[in-house]
Every structure is written in C-alpha cells, then in structure tokens.
Amino acid sequence: MLINVPETVVADALRGMAAAHPELTVDVENRVIVRRDAPVAGQVALVSGGGSGHEPLHGGFVGPGMLSAACPGEVFTSPVPDQMVRAAAAVDSGAGVLFVVKNYTGDVLNFDMAAELAEDEGIQVAKVLVNDDVAVTDSLYTAGRRGTGATLFVEKIAGAAAREGRPLEQVEAIARRVNDGSRSFGVALSPVTTPAKGSPTFDLPAGELELGIGIHGEPGRERRPMMTSGEIAEAAVDAVLTDLAPRNPVLVLVNGMGATPLLELYGFNAEVQRVLGSRGVAVARTLVGNYVTSLDMAGASVTLCEIDEELLGLWDAPVSTPGLRWGM
Amino acid sequence: MLDADFFRRWMTATTALVDRDAERLTALDSPIGDADHGSNLQRGFTAVATALEKDAPDTPGAVLVLAGRQLISTVGGASGPLYGTLLRRTGKALGDAAEVSAEQLAEALRAGVDAVRTLGGAAPGDKTMVDALVPAVDALGDSFAAAGAAAAEGAEATTPLQARKGRASYLGERSVGHQDPGATSSALLFEALKETAGE
C-alpha cells in the first residue's frame, strides 16, 4: 500500500487534497472540506459525508454545482456529528442545508444527531436518504437497501437545483425524486484490503466473483465462477430492472470499484448499453469511471436513474469539482 | 456504594480490554462487516481515558455522560452513536448523586440499553450488541460476575444467528456462523465492570 502508517491515511489524503485544490478549504484537523466561496448568498447548501475509501465520493464532489461541503470519516466508517455540524455552519447562507445521507446505520445515526444539533444552532436542515442498491432486500430483516452509485446522481442534480437558487423544500424534493428513480447493482472480482487490517477482508479466489457487493469490502449475496463482461452486464442490468421499470430515458453510471482499469470499464459499458438496448431501455446520458469506489476492489457497479426533462436539464448544468467537471 | 472513582476505573478497565482485544474485534468484523470495529473502539476509548484524566468528573453520572460524549465525537460509524448513547443515557439516569448502589446502576443501565434499542431498532436475536447487553443487565441483580458471564454467553450465542440489523444484515444467510463483533465488544464493558468490582 502507498501509505505511511494506517493511522494517518485520511489526514494525509486531506493534506494532499488541500495542496491540489486551492479552490477548496480543507480543514485537516476537523475533517471538513468546504468550497472556498461558501456560504453562497441565496443558495441552499448541500452537505454530505461518509466513510473514506470511496474517493472521489464525497470530498471530490465539493464545488459549484454540486456539494457545498463534505465530511470524510475514517476508512469505511461514517463521520461524527461534530464534523457535520461544523460543515453546516460553514456553508449555510440562511437558505438552509440539505444533508445527503447514504443508507448505512452509522451514517443515518450520525447525520440524525447532527441535524438535531445544527437545528439547535438555528440552521434549517433537511435530509435525503440514498438507498439504491437492489442487492439488499428492503425489509424488516435488513438495514435496508444501501446507498451507492445513486449518491453521485443525487449530489449532482440537487446541487444544480441549489445553484439555480431554488428553496430548500424544492431541492430536497428533487433529491428524493432522483433517489426514488435510481437503482444499482455491483460485482466484485477481488476483495478489499483496508489500511487498518492490511490483508483482504474476505477470501475470493481468482476465477470467482461476488455478485451483489457493497462498497465497504463486505462480500456479496452470491459467489459464482468467473463470467465474461457481457454476462456480468446481463446479470447487473437485469438485477436493476427487477426493481425499476423505466418508461422514460435513464442516466447510466458504469462505475469502477477502484482497481478495474478504464479499458475494462469502457468494454463493460459497451455490454451494458447492448443489454439496455435489448431490454428496451432508452439511455439519455452515460458516465463511465471510478466515482463511488471501494479502495482497491476490482469490479464495477451499474446505476440507472430514470429521469425527465427537468432532471436531465439539471444533470447537464455546469459543475466544477475535483471529481466531476463540465460546462464551466 | 459506587463512587466517581469506581466509574473512572471502570472506563479505564474497559479501555484496557478494548486495547487487548482490538485485533480480535477487527478480525470478527472482517467476514461480516468491514474490518474496523477494534480500531474504531480503540480510538474512542482512548479518547475517553484521556478526557477522564484531563477533566475528572466528580459524580458517577458525570463520568458516564462525559465518556458517552467522547465516543459520539470520536468513533463514528454505528458504534459511536450506539455506545455513546448507552453510556450517556446510563449516566443521565444516575443523576447527580455522589455515590450510587449496584441496584441503581442496574436500573440506569437498563435505561441505557433501552435507548440503544430505540436508536438502533434492534431486538434480542437480531445479532447485535443488544444480544450481550440485555442478558447482562438482567443478570446484574445477582452480581457483577454474573453479568459479565451473561454478556459473554450472549455474545457467543450470536454465532448461529442471521443478522437482521447493521452491516452484517446485507449478507443474509451468509452472516450465520460468525460471532457478532458488537455483541463481543459489549461483553468487554461487563468484563471490565466485574474486574473493577474485584469479583
């Protein structure tokens, strides 16, 4: 691993981020990344956060047209309420703050506590929960569907709505629409090695893959002998389509888990587009790359988001962050 | 009767046990979690020990409230709010008495465990920390030693269960056959209590 010691990986990365991105204010000690021009008068602010190890999510999505601030936790561990309250106070212009929360028990509990504390400080807070992963059945017997690739769609589209100056309840409603229309499914070709543990979190022999994995190195629901890119695309797209029957065009995110080369991801995207075509799903826009990663895991996830004209306009709106940039 | 010093020693003993077992907790968290439970709790309880040295609260309740706040501010994940709430609510239930009885501690811990169950939504049998906490509190009426043993048994009894809350629940049936790391660390809290009481 390209690190000094496991204890300082997050702080080291934040110092490097500060050096590379003068347009961001990176508070290494308190672990908050804020756009330098915050608070922006008249605009709702978006704050997100989560465990580290998913970069560029979330810190790499801070900037005009997307997040106002991000709170990185320890590797795969949600941040603490103190970080979120500090971030909210730094970015609130008086128009209110939207917390974008991935559905994991830790993230939910810490953001809930932070929302209460921020409201005590007079900050108006709304929350949207991202839960797009169809590999987890949303039932009383699980913690509910995980938040994965749709987080990027929610942060981009709600961020554009905030930049247009829309009020908090509208930005929140748009974020919720994006999440409701999004579903994801991921596969792993290799396990993850966390800096703290130093060895793979589970044993996955070469020649086998895990279907339905999350982004924290946990194994998936099912293990199978290695499949081709085309077969994996069919499995992933069909898993998504069991829970989403789009009548409108979709946004497609073909997301790398961290250790899969772009060459393979583009090849995989060709297969995903082929399967979508054969299932009668129209594609409005496609994004390919490593956006919601899981350290050094090899593999990919597919996220579809059913959209309308309004959401497509917000998706196409300019954005300028370290991890996503177009139109400005 | 138990005074603030007893509670400080309880927290220090817990810190030592978390240090001792950190690698084991992380190992248990690997197959059904994300391999960081030991290191996360170690960070939290180290902060608790430091805070209690710097600012020595003079009532049992204040010791636990301070410890709980430290955990919420330093651990993150689900463990931070859950352990933090357990200690904070227990501390609040103890009020500002300078000394409390074992019975009062048992009653306060029950309030703390109830708060954990409300916050996390877990019931006994869901393969969570609740599976160690509930039997421990039930046994606390007998002795600290009985509570320690009940917590350890409760943690071991999570092995055949299928997880219904938290990250292990994502694995469905594949979570069966692994001891729950949260229940295991919860048992340390009661092992430390037993040690502190000299039982």
pLDDT at B35: 82
The topology under which CATH files domain B2-196 is 1.25.40
Chain B residues whose C-beta is within 8 A of a chain A C-beta are 26, 30-36, 39-40, 43, 72-82, 119-120, 162, 164-167, 169-172, 174
Are residues A130 and A270 in contact, defined by beta-carbon separation less than 8 angstroms? no
pLDDT at A140: 64
The confidence band for A138, taking pLDDT boundaries of 50, 70 and 90, is: low
Pairing of strands A125-130, A283-289: unpaired
Q: Give pLDDT tens digits for A126-135.
A: 999 999 999 9
pLDDT at A137: 74
Q: What is the mean pLDDT of chain A?
A: 95
Q: Which of B119, B186, B111, B115 shows the shortest CA–CA distance to B147?
A: B186
* pLDDT above 90: residue A144: no
How far is C-alpha B104 from the chain's CA centre? 18
A242 by Cβ neighbours in 10 Å (0-12 / 13-18 / 19+) ranks as exposed
Q: Give pLDDT tens digits for B128-180.
A: 999 999 999 999 999 999 999 999 999 999 999 999 998 888 888 889 999 99
Domains of chain A, CATH where assigned: 6-180 (3.40.50.10440), 182-312 (3.30.1180.20)
Residues 6+ apart with CB under 8 A from A150: A130, A132, A178, A179, A182, A183, A184, A303, A305
Q: Give pLDDT tens digits for A10-35.
A: 999 999 999 999 999 999 999 999 99
pLDDT at A218: 74
* pLDDT above 70: residue B93: yes
Half-sphere exposure of B1 (CA within 13 A, CB side): 9
Beta bridge partners of A289: A255
pLDDT at B109: 98
* Residue spans per domain, chain B: 2-196
Q: Which of A229, A293, A222, A214 shows the shortest CA–CA distance to A259?
A: A293
Provide the 3-class DSSP secondary structure of residue A278: helix
Q: Cβ of B76 and A79 within 8 Å? A: yes
- H/E run at residue A311: helix A309-316
B26: closest chain A residue by CA: A197
Are residues A321 and A59 in contact, defined by beta-carbon separation less than 8 angstroms? no
Model's pTM, two decimal places? 0.92
CA distance A56 to A38: 20
pLDDT at B134: 98
* pLDDT above 90: residue A221: no
Q: Which of A168, A167, A174, A179 shows the shortest CA–CA distance to A317?
A: A174
CA distance A23 to A299: 32
Q: Among this protein's residues, is A216 annotated catalytic?
A: yes
* pLDDT above 90: residue B13: yes
Which candidate in A54, A86, A146, A156 is catalytic?
A54
Residues 6+ apart with CB under 8 A from B37: B25, B26, B28, B29, B79, B181, B182, B185
Which candidate in A53, A216, A284, A303 is catalytic?
A216
Q: Cβ of A78 and B76 within 8 Å? A: yes
* CA distance to partner chain B, nearest, from residue A138 (Å): 10
